[in-house]
Structure 1
Amino acid sequence: MNSQNGFLLSFIKYGENDAVLHCFTEEDGFQTYFLKGIYSKKNKKKALLQPLNKLNFCINPTKGNGISSISKFELMKGHDIDSDIKANTVIFFISDFLNQILKYENKNPNIFLSIERFINELESKNYQSHLLFLLVILKVQGVAPLIREGNFLDPETGTFSSNPCHQLFSEEISMIWKTALSAEDFYATKIHSSLRKDFLDSLLVYYHYHITDFRNPISLEVIQQIFE
């Protein structure tokens, strides 16, 4: 029997009592698991199925090409934000985002540790942490912009230039990118609340250029409304 530690990204009810889980694991990267009986009336563990909860799974050996099944699982670390509407909205947004961009990702310790760090920042009420986390992922994936002279970021080439290249990448927004990418600690970067929506929009444009088949997360509209 195989033991895995992983962050729960999404889960879908299957039939009356079962579920299919998508997780990013420490040992094997993105994985899909079948969980039997989780929605039965006597099963109290359904409460552990919360986005970005860190779980330990015991995995049954796979037969053929089927989905691996979970024999049991335990909570390793939840997040202490249950009553925080803003933080919960961020958690749903980031889990939605990661469920999309990590679906072909193999083992990647840097991403796994980055998710842990992001959750710690959010628990500390850093309500701009999701924006900077999106930058962290770009850097880990090797597609972050190159720091050069120039005050305007060109999202298509990932370089800075002396002239505007895209309407969303004003000098003010471009400088947030440059400041964060140049900082030793991404999360120390301060983004004024009036600029956060435009900065998020610029991040999504950049992802469309550099991440294959990227689509805006379904939860995007919700997070924009919460932070208005």
Structure 2
Amino acid sequence: MIHTTRAIIIGTTAYTDNSLIIKAYTEEFGLQSYILRAARKKGGNAKPQHFQALRVVELEISQTPKAKLSSIRSSQLASSYEHITTDIVKTTLALFLTEVINLSVKESVPNKELFHLLASETSALEAAPAKDTTEFHLRFLVKLASVLGFCPQDNYDAVHPYFNLRTGAFVATMQESDTLNQETSMSLHKLLSHPTERITRTLAERRELLNNLLHFYAIHITAGKPIRSHEILYTILG
């Protein structure tokens, strides 16, 4: 049986000398893994360069009942991707976003809202001017958490100025663990309430907010598995 779907590439692994396993979040089938045979064959209908991190592609899939993996018959780029593959900052952000998606999205069921978020964020990253990439990863983490159903609750006020990572809400008192200090809590509140505005002033502020958002993810969605590519972000975004 032949199916077509748009897909966002979130992983590529060599399977044999001439085959690849492609992990993708698809519009029609949710999270899926496919095999791309004869990946290096010249003139093939599916191009290996289409399967880089975060590319949105149109896939034609061949599904057979006894096969463990459906195979990719053809691929076509849904959009052009000049900057994500040539701009070191955007390439690094794409790798970070891909790792977050891999650790956070687990179910093989279609979720159109999630697909459209990932596709729109990919397009936004490609088009963003350099000044708008500084906090792109922070805004993405909040948006993805919202779609996946564990977004921080923005109940910040004068009585509740501290954010608790485990309860996912602002609380009245600074507790011994898993509670952000007042300054970082304020930064998170601003990120939640003003998603398009510049929130942080310094690299140290961004690092602190990112570290705590990743801790929040580890508590609520990644089962404690660490997201490691943020260390590269620190180096590149400086």
TM-score normalized with structure 1 length? 0.90
Tell me the SS of whatever aligns to 1:14.
strand
Q: Which of 148, 152, 167 does residue 157 from structure 1 map onto?
A: 167
1:180-224, Cα deviation, whole Å (9 max, x unpaired): 2224xx233533342111111010111111115242234232112
Q: Which of 198, 201, 212 does residue 208 from structure 2 map onto?
A: 198
CA-CA distance at 1:161 after TM superposition: 1.3
- Distance in 2, Cα, partners of 1:217 & 1:57: 29
- Distance in 1, Cα, partners of 2:208 & 2:17: 43
Q: Give unmatched runs, 5+ long, in structure 1.
A: none
1:94-148, Cα deviation, whole Å (9 max, x unpaired): 1121122113252112211211232233231321111111111111122112222
- Distance in 2, Cα, partners of 1:35 & 1:224: 34
Tell me the SS of whatever aligns to 2:115.
helix
- 1:166-181 map, 5 Å: 166=177, 169-181=180-192
Provide the residue aligned with 1:136 in structure 2: 143
CA 65–157 in structure 1, closer or farther in 2 if over 3 Å, else same:
farther
CA 182–16 in structure 1, closer or farther in 2 if over 3 Å, else same:
same
Paired letter, 2:55: N
Paired letter, 2:18: N
Q: Give unmatched runs, 5+ long, in structure 2.
A: none
Tell me the SS of whatever aligns to 1:70.
strand
Paired letter, 2:164: D
Would you say the 8 A contact 1:129–1:187 is kept in 2? no
1:123-177, Cα deviation, whole Å (9 max, x unpaired): 3132111111111111112211222231110001111112223477221211122
Paired letter, 1:177: L
- Distance in 1, Cα, partners of 2:55 & 2:217: 25
Higher mean displacement: 128-137 or 162-171 = 162-171
Would you say the 8 A contact 2:64–2:70 is kept in 1? yes
Displacement over 3 Å in runs of 4+: 40-44, 165-168
- Distance in 2, Cα, partners of 1:35 & 1:219: 26
CA 107–191 in structure 1, closer or farther in 2 if over 3 Å, else same:
farther
Paired letter, 1:156: R
- 1:1-228 map, 5 Å: 1-40=2-41, 45-64=47-66, 66-81=68-83, 82-122=85-125, 123-125=127-129, 126-127=132-133, 128-148=135-155, 149=157, 150-165=160-175, 166=177, 169-183=180-194, 186-194=195-203, 195-228=205-238
- Distance in 1, Cα, partners of 2:187 & 2:37: 46
Would you say the 8 A contact 1:21–1:32 is kept in 2? yes
Would you say the 8 A contact 1:118–1:130 is kept in 2? no
CA 188–106 in structure 1, closer or farther in 2 if over 3 Å, else same:
farther
- Distance in 1, Cα, partners of 2:220 & 2:98: 20
Would you say the 8 A contact 1:92–1:219 is kept in 2? yes
Tell me the SS of whatever aligns to 1:134.
helix
The number of residues matched between the two structures is 226
